Amino acid sequence: MTEKKPPRLKEKYETEVVKALIKEFKIKNKLAVPKVEKVVVNSGIGGASKDKGLISGYSDDFAKITGQRPSVQKAKLSVASFGIREGNAVGFRTTLRGAKMYHFLDRLFSIALPRLRDFRGLPITSFDKFGNYSLGMEDNSVFPEVEMDRKAKSFGLEITIVTSTKDINKAKRLLELMGMPFVKEE
């Protein structure tokens, strides 16, 4: 039986990033080194909530992008002005951990983000007070898993990267060392 090779980004974290963070922040305990705990990916489906075929197509694309089937988020309230009834599907969500998380982040950092039009880097201001980073993407077609020639429309994604540190500087440096392309400060 052959051993499965760990994700490329996880290897980079364990071999390079941990050492750099220990040295840079003078961390004494290896368990105190900041790490990415999970990635939460959300998407609203907008007007597609009435079309079962479109919902299925969105769900399939979402699963291809993230590597796992999403949970369907249903409306908690009816809102007549939006044409939404309680219980209608309004979005998808998935939480990635472990190997799937590292595979997703690797594709996000090295393939999807550089393919965005006029991309110059991600803003540093998107960290919350807990050291987590959130970003939004208007178009899912930058992921190579999505087929461009099909009839389903593209949809946006909201991605939250949850870190183990509450220190924004440590979280920023962690993501920087892992390959997240931030805007260059001038």
Give the residue among 155, 148, 160, 158 at the shortest CA–CA distance from 45.
Answer: 155
Tokens of 4: 């499965």
**Residue type, position 100, single letter:** K
pLDDT at 150: 58
pLDDT at 185: 67
Based on the number of CB atoms within 10 Å of its own CB, is 112 exposed (0-12), middle (13-18) or buried (19 or more)?
buried
Per-residue pLDDT reduced to its tens digit, 29-74: 999 999 999 999 999 887 666 667 778 888 888 899 999 999 988 8
**Domain boundaries defined on the chain:** 34-178
Q: What is the pTM of this model?
A: 0.89
Per-residue pLDDT reduced to its tens digit, 80-119: 777 777 877 788 999 999 999 999 999 999 999 998 888 8
CATH number for the domain whose boundaries are 34-178: 3.30.1440.10
Whether pLDDT at 140 is above 90: no
